[in-house]
Amino acid sequence: MQVCLFLTAASGGPPPLDLRALMHVAGETEGLCQLVVHEPVAEPVGPDAARDSTTPSCMLQWYFDDLAALERALEPEGMVHRALRRSALAKLDRHAFSQQVMAVRKLAPPQAMPMNDRAQRCTYMVAYEGPAHDFGAWLGHYLAHHPPLMLQLPALRELEIYTRMDCCSGLPFAHANAMQRNKVVFDDARSLAHALASPVRDAMRRDFHALPPYRGATPHYPMRSIYGKFAGP
């Protein structure tokens, strides 16, 4: 199972990154399989998916096949820190991002399509901040009922579900603690909007209201996604 480092910038910060420099240094990171850079979409993707004031200005996903390789990259002044510092167009401080490492569950949609390096897609990123009254019961219900519905979304290219895990990190950023995240990926914002208006989304809403008790926000963010693939499958 892959592991993924989420680095999330608050709305309005940090300063833009030099994506060419970021991808160049990331490509030298031992064990890194893929880096995905998410930025807010410019156009609306539906009445209930409009950009709000909490939308991250940037979200980075660093995928590794091995936790040990990720922890080496997260050492103080390690490759992740080096890539961020090299690509920052202004001073990068400890408030620039939050960080969280999560386990990755990949599911294959019927219309899955592999990504090429530097390709772009549109992602709907979701977080369940929690906590749940009984996380085991919550996660068991979610995995049994929600992904089969998501896989029916029209024109879906990727589906991933993430659960939190502990990891050593020398990055200076605060730690996020979402109990779960997921993302659904489409070719473009129009395809995402079509999926959000489909009857499948209505079924997903009904299942959402059937989830075991939990607290916390459930933000949904439409993002433009740029892919860099370096190693691995």
pTM of the model: 0.93
Residue 233: pLDDT over 50:
no
Per-residue pLDDT, averaged over 71-96, amounts to 90
Residue 218: pLDDT over 80:
yes
Q: What is the pLDDT of residue 108?
A: 93
Q: How far is CA 88 from CA 81, 124, 208, 220, in A?
A: 11, 25, 39, 26
Helices (H), the chain: 19-26, 67-73, 79-87, 135-150, 189-196, 199-209
Per-residue pLDDT, averaged over 69-96, amounts to 91
Per-residue pLDDT, averaged over 148-172, amounts to 96
Taking a C-beta distance cutoff of 8 angstroms, is the pair 14, 56 a contact? no
Longest dimension (CA), the chain: 48
Higher pLDDT: 96 or 47? It is 96
Domains and CATH numbers, the chain: 3-229 (3.30.70.100)
- My answer on whether omega of the bond before 14 falls inside 30° of 0, hence cis, is yes
pLDDT tens-digit readout, 123-142: 999 999 999 999 999 999 99
Q: What is the pLDDT of residue 16?
A: 77
* % the chain with pLDDT above 70: 93
Per-residue pLDDT, averaged over 99-111, amounts to 96
Q: Which of 7-16, 103-112, 156-165, 211-220 has the lowest mean pLDDT?
A: 7-16
pLDDT tier at 15, thresholds 50, 70, 90: low
Mean pLDDT, the chain, as a whole number? 91
pLDDT tens-digit readout, 24-77: 999 999 999 999 999 998 776 765 555 567 889 999 999 999 999 999 999 999
* % the chain with pLDDT above 90: 79
